[in-house]
Amino acid sequence: MKICMIGTGYVGLTTGTVLTELGHEVFCVDKDKDKISRLNKGEVPIHEPGLSELIIKNKQRNNLHFTSDVHKAIKECSILFITVGTPPNEDGSQNLIALDEVVETLAQTITAHKTIIMKSTVLPGTNESVQETLIKRGINHGLFDIVSNPEFLREGYAVFDMMNPDRIVIGSHSEKSIKLVKSLYRKLDAPYVVTSLTGAEMIKYASNAFLATKISFINEIARICDAFDVEITDVVSGLATDKRISPHFLKAGLGYGGSCFSKDLRALEYTARQKNIITDILISVQKVNDTQTDLYIKKLIEKLYDLSDKKITVWGLSFKPDTDDIRDSRSLHLIDKLIEKGANVYAYDPIVHLPSSKITCHQDIYESIKGSDALILATEWSEFQKVNWIKVKDSMEGSVIVDGRNVIDPVIVKKHGFHYIGVARP
Ligand code: UDX
C-alpha cells in the first residue's frame, strides 16, 4: 500500500520506516526542507537504535521516500498518517498549530478517497473535530474516513515497539477503515482493540497517565521506605510477583522525564477541568515527580552542608538511556537546582553534549569527576555500571555518590570508600 506520513519527527520517521519493513511504500513528508535533504542523504536526525539501518535499507529498495511536497504526496497515496507534534501551551492545553495546518492542507488537496490515520497524540474529541472541520471546509463525507491509531513507542526501543506492539488500538466509525488498518499491520502479531475515535484518544492518555502514576507511586513508597531503612528493591520484588501489579514501571528514581508523560498528564488534567472534573490523582502524580529531585538535593546538602562553590558532577543528561532526547530530562532539572544553590556543575553523557555556559560538559567520563565533591548519577546509561570505581575515587576530591537510578552496586562502591546515597537503599 502507498502511505503518506505527514510529519517526519520522531513518531513519523519511526512509524514510516517500520511500515516499509512491513511491505508498504511510504512517503515521509516534512516542511523542514533541510531535514528532508539530510534524510535523503542518509543522515538520520535522531538517535534511535536500529532506525538508521532500516532507513538506508528501505531507501535503497525504493520503498521509503522523503519529500517536502505535501500536496503531491497526498495525491499519490490513499492512506495518510498524521504524525505532527502537539506540544503543550503554558496552561497545559495542546498547541494545535501544526495539526490545523495539516487539516487545511487536506481541505485544499483531497479530491479522491483518503483514509486519514491520526497517530499524533491528541486530546479526546480532537479527531471528531478534525472530521467536522473537513466537512465544513467542503470535503464530502464520502471522500474520507478518519481513524485514531495512537502510538505507544518508547524512545530507545521505538523500532522494537513498533514491530512488537502489546496491542494495536483502532478508533473508527467505519468498518472499511478498521479492515484497512488491520491489513496495514497484518504482519504484526498483536491483539486489536477497536473502539470509537474518542475512545482511542482516551486509551492513549489513560496509558501514559497510568504509567506515570506507577512511577510516582513507587517514588512515594520509596520515601516511606527510606524513613524506615527499608530496601525499595525488596519491596518491588514483593509487589512484582503479584500478577495484578506486574513488575514493570516500578523503578524508583529521580522521576519521569521525556516529551510525553508530563505533557500528557497536564493536558489530560486541563481537558478534564474544562468538563469540571478535578483530577486529584493526576495532580498528585505530577507533584511527587516535581519534588523528587529536590529530595535528593536535600540529601546531598545533608552530606556536604552547603553546595555553594562545590564541584558536583552529573552523569547522564538525556531523559533516559539510549536516546539523545533531553526534553524534560530530570537531569537538567537537577542541574538547574544545583546551579541555583551555587554549585559548579560538571557533566558527562555518552551521547549528549550540552553547549552551555552554565555547566562544563566533558566528553571523557573520568575527566568529568576530577576534583569533584560529589557525583550524581541521573540517567542509567549501561556505561555507568562498568566504570572503574578505584579510578573514580582517586580522581574525586570528595566521596559522595547519589545514585538517582539505583543502578550502582552499593556494596562495591562502599568497599572503595564512597558514601553511597541511593533511592531508598539503606
Ligand atoms: C513513554 C511511553 O512509555 C510510551 O508508551 C509513549 O508512547 C511515550 O511515552 P518514553 O517517554 O519514550 O515513552 O519513555 P519511558 O520508557 O516510558 O520512560 C519515561 C520516563 O519514566 C523516563 O524518564 C524513565 O527514566 C522514567 N521511568 C520509567 C522511571 O522513573 N521508572 C520506571 O519504572 C520506568
Identify the CATH number of the domain in which residue 207 sits.
3.40.50.720
Identify whether residues 101 and 172 lie together within a single domain: yes
The three three-digit cell numbers of residue 144, written as one number: 474520507
Atom of ligand 1 nearest to the CA of 157: 12
Averaged pLDDT score across all residues of the chain: 97
Report the separation in Å between the CA atom of 424 and the middle of ligand 1, taken as the mean of its atom positions.
20
Of the residues 195, 210, 235, the one at which a domain ends: 195
Helix (H) or strand (E) holding 129: helix 126-136
Identify whether residues 207 and 243 lie together within a single domain: yes
Identify whether residues 248 and 182 lie together within a single domain: no
Return the best residue to mutate from 14, 51, 154, 263 for the ligand 1 pocket (most ligand atoms within 8 A of CB): 154
The ipTM, to two decimals, is 0.97
Mean pLDDT (whole number) for 7-36: 97
Burial 211-231 (b: 16+ CB within 10 A, else e): bbbbbbbbbbbbbebbeeeeb
Report the separation in Å between the CA atom of 70 and the middle of ligand 1, taken as the mean of its atom positions.
32
Give the residues surrounding ligand 1 with Cβ less than 6 Å away.
Answer: 151-155, 208, 211, 215, 249-251, 253, 256-258, 260-261, 319-320
pTM: 0.96
Identify whether residues 425 and 343 lie together within a single domain: yes
Q: In this predicted model, what pLDDT tens digit does every residue of 363-407 receive, in sequence order?
A: 999 999 999 999 999 999 999 999 999 999 999 999 999 999 999
Identify whether residues 287 and 400 lie together within a single domain: yes
Atom of ligand 1 nearest to the CA of 249: 33
Identify whether residues 151 and 209 lie together within a single domain: no
Identify whether residues 136 and 79 lie together within a single domain: yes
Residue nearest to atom 3 of ligand 1 (CA): 154
- The annotation status of 332 as a binding-site residue, yes or no, is no
- Quote the number of domains for the chain: 2
Are 181 and 76 in contact, with CB atoms under 8 Å apart? no
Spatial CA neighbour of 358 closest among 370, 369, 347 = 347
Identify whether residues 283 and 387 lie together within a single domain: yes
CA triple 235-302-414, angle to 5 deg: 60
Identify whether residues 254 and 322 lie together within a single domain: yes
- The annotation status of 35 as a binding-site residue, yes or no, is yes
Residue type, 13: L
Residue nearest to atom 24 of ligand 1 (CA): 256
Identify whether residues 72 and 153 lie together within a single domain: yes
Mean pLDDT (whole number) for 335-347: 97
Neighbouring residues of 168: CB distance < 8 A, sequence distance ≥ 6: 149, 181, 182, 185, 188, 190, 191, 192, 193
Identify whether residues 270 and 167 lie together within a single domain: no
pLDDT recorded at residue 110: 96
Identify whether residues 74 and 205 lie together within a single domain: no
Of the residues 173, 195, 217, the one at which a domain ends: 195
pLDDT recorded at residue 288: 98
Report the separation in Å between the CA atom of 66 and the middle of ligand 1, taken as the mean of its atom positions.
29
Of the residues 195, 223, 244, the one at which a domain ends: 195
- The annotation status of 287 as a binding-site residue, yes or no, is no
pLDDT recorded at residue 356: 86
Mean pLDDT (whole number) for 88-108: 95
Return the best residue to mutate from 261, 290, 296 for the ligand 1 pocket (most ligand atoms within 8 A of CB): 261
Burial class (CB within 10 angstroms; exposed 0-12, middle 13-18, buried 19+) of 126: buried
Q: Which domain does 159 fall in, by range?
A: 2-195
- The annotation status of 119 as a binding-site residue, yes or no, is no
pLDDT recorded at residue 355: 84
Enter the DSSP assignment of 145: E
